[in-house]
Amino acid sequence: MDYIAYLHKDKGSDFGVSFPDFPGCVTAGRTLEEAREMAVEALTVHMSGVIEDGEALPEPSTLDQLAGDPAMQGAVAFLVSAEAPEKTVRVNITARESQIEAIDKLARKAGMTRSAYMVQSAVRGAGEQRGRRAAG
């Protein structure tokens, strides 16, 4: 989804970013590029919190709808794209203890959690299977 963000810059300050559709969601960056990157991260994290709280994400406002917003005064409006995060689901699996130990060792080596490593490995393996079937 694309949401409007306000970019503010006072003399001698960092670039500040706020989101009219998400009051309280603010971030900043020393450079314009850093502010843009931080805006994506801040919006994604804020959207996750809204979803975890069981609330619906707001529809993105338009510039016409925000024309009278006093927070827009002196700001530059720009679009920030962020995907609504999916809900995380906990599952149980059954495996031999030696298999879990091997998975944990590989996960640590990759700098990942057990769950992240298993999901990434399964998704990557499924993609490779599809690629082999398509080529064959």
Q: How far apart are CA 27 and CA 25, in angstroms?
A: 7
Whether 85 shows a pLDDT value over 90: the answer reads: no
Whether 7 shows a pLDDT value over 60: the answer reads: yes
Query: Does 68 lie in the same domain as 114?
Result: no
Query: Does 107 lie in the same domain as 63?
Result: no
pLDDT band for position 112 (50/70/90)? confident
pTM: 0.63
pLDDT band for position 128 (50/70/90)? low
Query: Does 108 lie in the same domain as 66?
Result: no
> In which domain, by residue range, is 41 found?
2-81
User: What is the domain count for the chain?
Assistant: 2
Q: How far apart are CA 16 and CA 78, in angstroms?
A: 12
Higher pLDDT, 50 or 89: 50
pLDDT in the model for residue 136: 56
pLDDT in the model for residue 134: 59
Query: Does 103 lie in the same domain as 75?
Result: no
pLDDT in the model for residue 81: 93
Query: Does 106 lie in the same domain as 51?
Result: no
Side chain identity at residue 91, one-letter code: V
Report the percentage of the chain scoring pLDDT > 90: 65
Whether 132 shows a pLDDT value over 60: the answer reads: no
Query: Does 71 lie in the same domain as 121?
Result: no
Q: Does residue 92 lie in a domain region?
A: no
Q: How far apart are CA 58 and CA 27, in angstroms?
A: 19
Q: What is the torsional sign of CA 45, 48, 54, 59?
A: positive
pLDDT in the model for residue 89: 78
Side chain identity at residue 129, one-letter code: Q
Measured from the Cβ of residue 119, the count of other Cβ atoms closer than 10 Å reads 13
- Segment 61-90 mean pLDDT: 89
Q: Does residue 89 lie in a domain region?
A: no
